[in-house]
Amino acid sequence: MSRLTRRAVLAGAMTLPALARAQGTWPQGIIRIVVPFPAGGSVDAIARLVQPDLQKRLGVTVLVENRGGASGSVGAAAAAKAAPDGNTWLFVFDTHAVNPTLLPSLSFDSEKDLDPVLLIGTAPNLLATHPSRPYRTLADVIEAAKAKPGGLTYATIGAGSLGHLTMVLLAKRASVSLAHVPYRGGGPAVNDAIGGHVDLIIGSAALLANQVAGGTLRPIVQTGEKRHPAIAAVPTVTESGFERFVSNAWWGVFGPAGIPKPIQERFRAELIAVLRQPEIAARLTEGQTMELALGGPEELRAFFKEQMTVWGAVVRENAIKSDT
């Protein structure tokens, strides 16, 4: 006997006439954007940036709901279990592709219970150091790590974060050992980095951009496929001798599986229109060092599967455990 999927159960619970009514009258009621992280992070910033104009364009109340916990999986679970009526949407960060492997006890299926809607954009990660440290290039870091195995420390926003996985992969390719210092969020990690309590910090360029611009941190290398214009003076890992080494932070939008296609298309179109507004686009591309993708469901689906494959392998091969 085949197992009932969540999609089938919801399809039975929400009959075709009910779906037709929802489709015909949407939007109505309150629309929730679930942000699976506390206020203050990049996902929250994007949601609150688009909320006012999205609300105007849709003509209904749009609320940003922070549901943090377990690397974003608590909020994602809440969205996955919501009714597919177009009134609940999930904004995610790159941890969304790591969690299926890092957190095997997830209460939902990331691919079956959530439909991809929009790939907002990507941004490189940035490896930086305190100005008092002697490291100016990736070669300097590797040389120091070889001279003192396990002696160099690097901060991340947490165990299993993309920054952590990126450094694990880089250390492996460079045949060096580095000491990971996980923090519970970007704020504490940045504070200790600018205080000189760790040798290095890795995080999205958005997280470290202000400190780099202000001189409290010195950038060493960025992890995008090519140099981001906002940090064009910083070389890529590939340029630094590690061919095809790419690690991008990314932001996307999902919805509960089964939202009628016309509703998905309307929400995506309105959201793209807001994101393309010059002032908002500039804040994302310059302030968040983001490259806007604005890719549709199939582009996000393919990108998400690729990210799960790449970083899931790093988690498994290195027996990485979450600190949540």
Q: What pLDDT does residue 1 have?
A: 38
Tell me the residue length of the chain.
324
Domain with CATH 3.40.190.10 in the chain: 124-231
Pairwise CA distance, residues 130 & 80, whole Å: 41
Strand partners of residue 34: 65, 90
Sequential DSSP letters for 175-228? T---EEEE-SSHHHHHHHHHTTSSSEEEEEHHHHHHHHHHTSSEEEEE-SSS--
Question: What's the sign of the alpha-carbon dihedral 253, 256, 259, 261?
Answer: positive
Classified as helix, coil or strand, 32 is strand
- Fold for 6-123+248-317, please state it: D-Maltodextrin-Binding Protein; domain 2 (3.40.190)
* Residue 274 C-beta-side C-alpha neighbours within 13 Å: 20
The per-residue pLDDT for 324 is 65
Burial class (CB in 10 A: 0-12, 13-18, 19+), 81: middle
Beta bridge partners of 128: 201, 219
Q: 26: Cβ–Cβ under 8 A, 6 or more apart, which residues?
A: 85, 86, 263, 266
pLDDT at 323: 73
Contact 62, 286 (CB under 8 A): no
Give the pLDDT of the chain (324 residues) as one tens digit per residue.
344 455 545 545 554 454 555 556 899 999 999 999 888 788 999 999 999 999 999 999 999 999 988 889 999 999 999 999 999 999 999 999 999 999 989 999 999 999 999 999 999 999 999 999 999 999 999 999 999 999 999 999 889 999 999 999 999 999 999 999 998 878 889 999 999 999 999 999 988 988 999 999 999 999 999 999 889 999 999 999 999 999 999 999 999 999 999 999 999 999 999 999 999 999 999 888 899 999 999 999 999 999 999 999 999 999 998 876
Which among 290, 248, 299, 296 has a CA at the least distance from the CA of 272? 296
At the topology level, CATH places domain 124-231 in D-Maltodextrin-Binding Protein; domain 2 (3.40.190)
Residues 6+ apart with CB under 8 A from 47: 33, 35, 64, 91
- Residue limits of CATH 3.40.190.150 in the chain: 6-123+248-317
Q: What is the pLDDT of residue 224?
A: 95
Q: In sequence order, which residues have a C-beta less than 8 Å from that of residue 174 and are 6 or more positions away?
A: 142, 145, 242
Q: Report in angstroms the alpha-carbon separations of 259 from 11, 32, 304.
A: 10, 14, 19
Q: What is the pLDDT of residue 21?
A: 52
CB 94 within 8 A of CB 306: no
pLDDT at 4: 47
pTM over 0.75: yes
Question: How many whole angstroms from its chain centre is CA 205?
Answer: 12
